[in-house]
Structure 1
Amino acid sequence: MKIALAFCLLAVFLKSTSYANGSRDQVIFGSSTDSVLVKKFVEARQSSTWTGTYGGAAGRAIDGHTNGNFNARTCTHSSCRGETNPWWYVKLQSSKVISKVVIYNRQDCCASRLAGAVIGIGSSNFPPFTRNQRCGTISSDMTKVTRIEVVCNQPIIGQYVSVRLPGTNCLTLCEVQIYESVSVTPFITARQSSTYYEGGAAIRAIDGNIDTRYLYGRASCTHTARQRNPWWYADFGSLKTVSKVVIYNRGDCCADRLGDAQVRVGGTTVAPFTRNTQCGGTITQVMIRSNPVEIECHRPITGRYVSVYIPGNNKILSLCEVKVYSRQ
């Protein structure tokens, strides 16, 4: 069976976070920016919980269900019994640079209750969250739609996202989606072990095109020849500290070719890059079921080069986009 390796795009993202030791990540704005859905949470809490038949636990707002019918048991609900200024918050796994918050409002009744709610982002989980920055406030007109999108005037750094409702209304959230702002920094060059005769240059992995189709003249993905141990790497031009690599795999065919690939970060461009540190584990067939494929480094890795390498005979390497989350 013939196996091929193709890469479609590689982009680098740098986030901004403050640390206890005084160091600070910087958001380095490059050729474009992107918003990525945050999927990892530590916990969700709220000021009180409805004790009626259908409940209303805080965790319902981050369970992945956007059903706006409270009876479906997918929405939170505060107690509503003499409570003033009800609140809800979620703790993210780590600090993020957040650009917007999307709230799915209740639809079976009472949608207008959410009017006046304040969205806050920051490092504090103490109500009324005045230490955190305000992303925005939900107006009466905004409650007339199911999906309420609150875009921050500028990205805000924080590990806690809160919703606070001034007054005596009940607070109900059917789903809260948080989007991280990432900034794309261009590489200065990209190279690969070989290029397929019908096209697939290494530079395609850093051209900003996230189309996952190599075929039909899309010219979006890199593609090596069929060979032993194909590889691809890109050069930042200076040292960066990488925490995560996201690869957009081919979507038109052949996604399984990326299996067994290794992502490494370091200072050498000599294949198979074993002098560089591997980011996360080897890409498995289970990981490939999702597109893009996310590889979390076990710890931040400092290096100038990011490589993707597939060991074995008769392999082809294709990448449609690789986003590298870095810290300067």
Structure 2
Amino acid sequence: MKHLLLLGLIMLDCFPLTVVGHKNVAVGKPAFQSSLYTLSTPAGPENAVDGNTYNNWLGLSCTHTVQEQNPWWKVDLQNMYKVNEVVITNRKDCCSQRLVGAVVRVGSSSYIANNIKCGNTVTGDKIRQSNTIPFHCNAGTKGRYVSVQLERQYQYLTLCEVEVYGTLCKNEKVSENVAVGKPAYQSSLYTISTPAGPEKAVDGNTDSNWSSQSCTHTVQEQNAWWKVDLQNVYKVNEVVITNRQDCCSQRLVGAVVRVGSSGYIASNTKCGYTVTGDRIRQSKTIIFHCNAGTKGRYVSVQLERQYQYLTLCEVEVYGTLVAGHKNVAVGKPAFQSSLYTISTPAGPEKAVDGNTDSNWSSQSCTHTVQEQNAWWKVDLQNIYKVNEVVITNRKDCCSQRLVGAVVRVGYRSAIASNTQCGTTVTSDRITKSTTLKFDCSHGTKGRYVSVQLEGQYQYLTLCEVEVYGTL
């Protein structure tokens, strides 16, 4: 009988976390809320998942938003669960009626409205019956996010605990925010005392008030832009922007999100719709759905055909890594035929530093002397089946110097012994893009990847060399 029970559990996608599958899976998980009521008592979203169900405000274990329209709270379970029940502990010492109109939702989207309602909307009768309010999810609802929102209410939202009971879905991968901590860039920087660089939009902080020091800010300019380099190719399903809330939210009208493999924004594919005033009025969080998943390494936000400041408080990118499409060259030992000795560092390691900025001033490009057959190579330190090599050429000047470049992949450190990957670079290819791709037929096995100006007397400059393949 034990063996039959074990076999049954193995065949399920969602596994009970205890014998009866009744464990609170929300404790200690990352939590967020629409706003924070600033008073001496701590009242952040984490108070509702601290494991403490004491329901008196003086217990210092309840959340509290400002009084606003449709306030919300949510928890990220960080995995997919089949949620059977959500239990809210309401405040008891006062103000319990504030929870009238609360709706619980469960789903895979970080955008609350996309998810499925769990149980019934809270009524005054439910609150009078008990300080603990259970929400039963029909047949279990699968999701990563659990939210509580006062829909169509102008009120404070206070929660003393939110317990989530369900079973872990082992065979379902969650779509993760793959942008956090990745290199980010923007068209300009508004120089003020508050830091407002591009990295603020990928710091994992979704606070939408300027005073939080977690929002970006460009100068007022035409077609202001921001972009993140995911450093690998992902199938992007959804991009979520947190807009500034304390003021200036209308500045995001005209924003367009693009996803693609080019560091040059205009070359990439539009994801979702252009932002309108209506979308901004509906929510501070704006979601962009990418049709059937759009493959790309770069995700950008641009105010196309607008003369305006661009401010972003967070940009979340949800997607999955494309199999066999990881840049295996980053940080590996690199070499070149010579070094042009100038004040700007230009060693071979600059082409595998993960920075695809194509301007010389970024100090992330290599440079040899002017010589015959100048070369650069990277040692991957293992044998890889290389599918594609991508070169980022210098953009601010001198791009034609790469005419005649040949990429080779192979087992030998002696470049000429290895197999050519793709075609020799021509002037036409350079004119079309600063990013040059070299396709290796059916995957070419090797440890060394090289770029050489064969038959040319010229400088060799590379701003990045990406190698995609499998070990």
TM-score band w.r.t. shorter chain: 0.3 to 0.5
RCO greater where, 1 or 2, for CA within 8 Å and sep 6 or more? 1
- TM normalised by structure 2 equals 0.34
**Which structure: greater helix fraction?**
2
Task: Report the TM-score when normalising by structure 1.
Answer: 0.48
- Structure with max Cα Rg: 2
